Structure 1
Amino acid sequence: MRHTVIASAVRVPWHSHHGGYDRLLDYLPEVERIISPRGVTGQKIAAAAPHWLRRRCPLPFYPAEHFATDVRVLARRGPAHVLYGDEQFWFSRHRPGPSAVTYHQPPAHLARFMPATNWRRLSAHASQIITLAPDQRAFFADHLPEERVHLIPHGIDVAAFTPAGVPEATRPLVLTVGWWLRDWDVLDTVHDRLHRRHGNNIELVVVTRQGSQRTWHPAVRVLEGISELALIQLYRRAAAVLLPLTDATANNALLEALACGTPVVATDTGGISYYTGDSLAALLTPPGDASGTAEAVETLLGELGTAAHATRRATARERAELFAWPRIADQVRSVYRLLKDER
């Protein structure tokens, strides 16, 4: 049996080549990918009628490429998997055949997208829903039967993101990666405290999306648009990956850091603890707690060169391997079997 898998027309630009949820498709060779190239009919329609789209689609982010994908999917029969339901399922919900839909945004953001009545109406069109964190599952279980809502975690390419020895502790690196749902106030405060204590004896680096307009602490080195190889080398060299967050389901930077064997300091919010577990790989701090976050980073810095730090690095890698894409793909196939039964 072949499955129609719907993927975003344009890869998320801040994900590296081996990062992002659409990497799942590399481990599902039996599916048929529908990815709209630029210039297709649906995209031309969307470009010509943006007001028409806005009037008919309540989703806050719905680019022309997604409408182009929807146009193609609407004409196809058989099972389908919409990989980014937050952005792609409004029009394609009317397609013939059963659909599985994966949602990525935290419940609070989903609730702001549309009122509950709209979510109930939309969810009714999904045969199965895949969520990435436990609180998401609870959100959708309010709108359709629990047996149709599945918790299948995000994956990570553990062959691309790998450890490479223990970093030197002469000038330790504290690395932050990403931009979405980051707690910039906490990050700025922690950077300031680390710089005041360590001065030039510590390296503070932020890897973020291109075009960032915010003002950074003067001691921070900001990198935009770097290669995946450069990113992996930073992960490997970092003494700690610092991820202050306002909310989360899955987090690519978290999984990438763990796969590279780097311990993480992250905010205990949303699905973060679901991915870190109670392992030594991560130190979790309460939301908005800049002091606790700075202390957690200092704990990791103080362990550099010790057996405790080596244990954290090994544990981080072990934790990441639980989310290796082949494992996740097998869980997604179980949802595909339900689609086949429904058809």
Structure 2
Amino acid sequence: MKKIIVHHRSSHHAHYSGYARLIDFLDDPDVVQGETKLPYRFAKWLGEMSTTKAGLYDSQSVQKEMELFFHLKKSSRKEKTIVHYLNGERDIRYLLKYKKENKQLKFCATFHKPPEVLRKIIKETSYLKKLDGAICVGENQVDFLKDWLGIEHVNYIPHGIDTRFFHPLNKEKHSKNMLFVGQHLRDFEMLNTTLPIILAEDKDASIDIILKKEYKEKIKLPNSNRIRIHSGIVDNQLRTFYQKATFLYLPLLDSTACNSILEALACGLPVLTSNVGGNQAYLNNRGGFLLSDKDEFIQLALNLLEDSDRCDLLSEEARLQALKYDWKNIATNINSFYKKINY
């Protein structure tokens, strides 16, 4: 079966992070990245002519569709072919019409946003309803997508993680250092409310906060050498933060799959996060905690800061949990999904 992958990588993801890593674990796929000779101004004009109500479609999307068009023109009509959009929230438009001309050709997409976000950002679903299959990275998306798009083949296949790059190190001592990573759907109000109380109760505790510099204004915390904010770090630095922290402190507003949680688990870092979205399936009561209010966040954080033995046990559980989401396993499941929709 021929696989054509329409590439997308979020700018804030590290090289070893993000859903595009799937490409490295599939067997020799053709990858569409929008590398054409179409003039940028023309591509920009075409992108602006397309409705934004059907998902993001910009100059980059136009370039990708043009490149995909040439791939499809070269494809044999006798060979089973799958086109997989790595991000179902963008780039999907006009080439799905090829389905009518080639019965061996099927289209699928992976969706990353929670249901409430999808409903808000995509008002026009006529293009998406032409898909042959949808992959959900959060269990909380499955029923919604089946109803919203009317697609028969909608499967939950977890987001993957590179467990070779993200791995634990032996910690020399219990550092009492928390870690907060990212900005998408982060509950900054919970962070700003609970963190001063935790730091006041435990004078040895500290936190590293890693996020894009544009989001620094979201941090409403007192100036302190125990609160360190970082932006623009490279992959190895990010991994070191995970490896040396005591636990990931990550209140969320909603979720499907969260790269930061997966990266933490792979580095053997216990996770304290919110009981929202798809978090339950990813943690499954191993290596982390799902919390519902500020008192739970505060109390559990203080308890773990004092209990190095419990953190060590949680660290082992976290690593074992992450191994389930190794990209090799996820790629196997996705290959099975391709065969299911193009049998």
Tell me the TM-score normalized by structure 1: 0.89
Find the residue that maps to 1:234 and give its secondary structure: helix
Which deviates more from structure 2 when the two are superposed, residues 242-251 or residues 158-167? 158-167
User: What is the identity, as a one-letter code, of the residue corresponding to 2:198?
Assistant: L
Partners of 2:39 and 2:7 in 1: CA distance: 15
Task: Give, in angstroms, the shift of residue 40 of structure 1.
Answer: 3.9
From 293, 299, 306, the equivalent of 2:303 is 299
- Report SS of the residue matched to 2:113: coil
Q: Is the 8 A contact 2:54 2:127 kept in 1?
A: no
Displacement after TM superposition at 1:30 (Å): 2.5
Aligned to 1:57: 52
Distance in 1 (alpha carbons) for counterparts of 2:342 and 2:11: 33
Distance 2:212 2:58 in 1: 18
Q: Which amino acid aligns with 2:275?
A: D
Instruction: Decide whether aligned partners of structure 1 residues 263 and 68 sit closer, same or farther in structure 2, where only a CA change above 3 A counts.
Output: same
Contact kept in structure 2, 1:167 and 1:238, CA below 8 Å: no
Where structure 2 has 5 or more consecutive residues not aligned to the other structure, the ranges are 73-80, 100-104
SS, match of residue 70 in structure 1 = helix
Is the contact made by 2:250 and 2:271 (CA closer than 8 Å) also made in structure 1?
yes
In the alignment, structure 1 residue 69 sits paired with structure 2 residue 75: no
Fraction of identical pairs, as percent: 25
1-structure distance, mates of 2:40, 2:131: 24
Q: Deviations over 1:229-283 (max 9, x none)?
A: 111111011101011000000000000000000001000100001100022x111
Matched, 1:174 2:178: yes
Q: Of 304, 321, 336, which aligns to 1:334?
A: 336
Q: Select 1:110's aligned residue among 99, 111, 118.
A: 118
Tell me the distance in 2 between the aligned counterparts of 1:325 and 1:294. Answer: 34
Query: Letter of the aligned partner of 1:296 in structure 2?
Result: L
Q: 1:244 to 1:49 in 2, by over 3 A?
A: same
Aligned mate of 2:17, from 13, 16, 19: 19
Question: 1:45 pairs with 42, 58, 65, which one?
Answer: 42
Deviation, structure 1 residue 297: 1.2
**Is 1:3 aligned with 2:8?**
no
Does the C-alpha gap of structure 1 residues 34 and 49 become closer, same or farther in structure 2, counting only changes over 3 Å?
A: closer
SS of structure 1 residue aligned to 2:166: coil
Determine if contact 2:43/2:62 at 8 Å carries over to the other structure: yes
The structural deviation recorded for 1:167 is: 5.1
Return the offset for 1:44.
3.7
Cα–Cα, structure 1 residues 194 and 140, in superposed 2: closer, same or farther, change >3 Å? same
Instruction: Select the residue among 259, 267, 279 that pairs with 1:252.
Output: 259
Closer, same or farther in 2 for the Cα pair 1:254/1:126, shift >3 Å?
same
Q: Structure 1 residues 233, 86: CA separation in 2 closer, same or farther (over 3 Å shift)?
A: same
1:192 to 189, 196, 210: 196
Letter matched to residue 52 of structure 1: M
Matches within 5 A, 1:91-110: 91-96=94-99, 97-110=105-118
The one-letter code matched in structure 2 to 1:163 is P
Maintained 8 Å contact 1:74/1:95: no
CA distance in structure 2 between the aligned counterparts of 1:183 and 1:270, rounded to whole angstroms: 13
Distance 1:102 1:321 in 2: 21
Runs (4+) off by over 4 Å = 144-147
Distance change >3 Å, CA 239–CA 167, structure 1 → 2 = farther
Cα distance between partner residues in 1 of 2:299 and 2:254: 21
1:299 CA displacement: 2.1
Corresponding residue number in structure 2 for 1:284: 290
What amino acid is aligned across from residue 81 of structure 1 in structure 2? H
User: Residue 85 of structure 2 contacts residue 109 of structure 2 at CA under 8 Å; is this kept in 1?
Assistant: yes
Deviation at 1:331, TM superposition (A): 0.5
**CA distance in structure 2 between the partners assigned to 1:339 and 1:40 by the alignment:** 33
| CA offset digits 1:52-110 (Å, max 9, x no partner) | 23xx2314644422221122224443420010011121344334431011100000000
Residue 83 (1) aligns with residue 80 (2): no
User: CA-to-partner distance for each residue in 1:145-197, whole Å, 9 max, x for gaps?
Assistant: 5641111010000000000013522x421000010000000011122112222
Give the letter aligned to residue 299 of structure 1: N
Closer/same/farther in 2, CA of residues 22 and 175 from structure 1, 3 Å limit: same
CA contact (8 A) 1:106 1:270 kept: yes
What amino acid is aligned across from residue 326 of structure 1 in structure 2?
A: K
Which of 211, 221, 229 is the aligned partner of 2:214? 211
Structure 1 residue aligned with 2:277, among 270, 278, 292? Answer: 270
The DSSP-based 3-state class of the residue aligned with 1:93 is helix
What letter matches 2:49 in structure 1?
W
User: Could you say which residue in structure 1 is the equivalent of 2:77?
Assistant: none
- The residue number in structure 1 matching 2:76 is none
Instruction: Please give the secondary structure, in 2, of the residue aligned with 1:142.
Output: helix
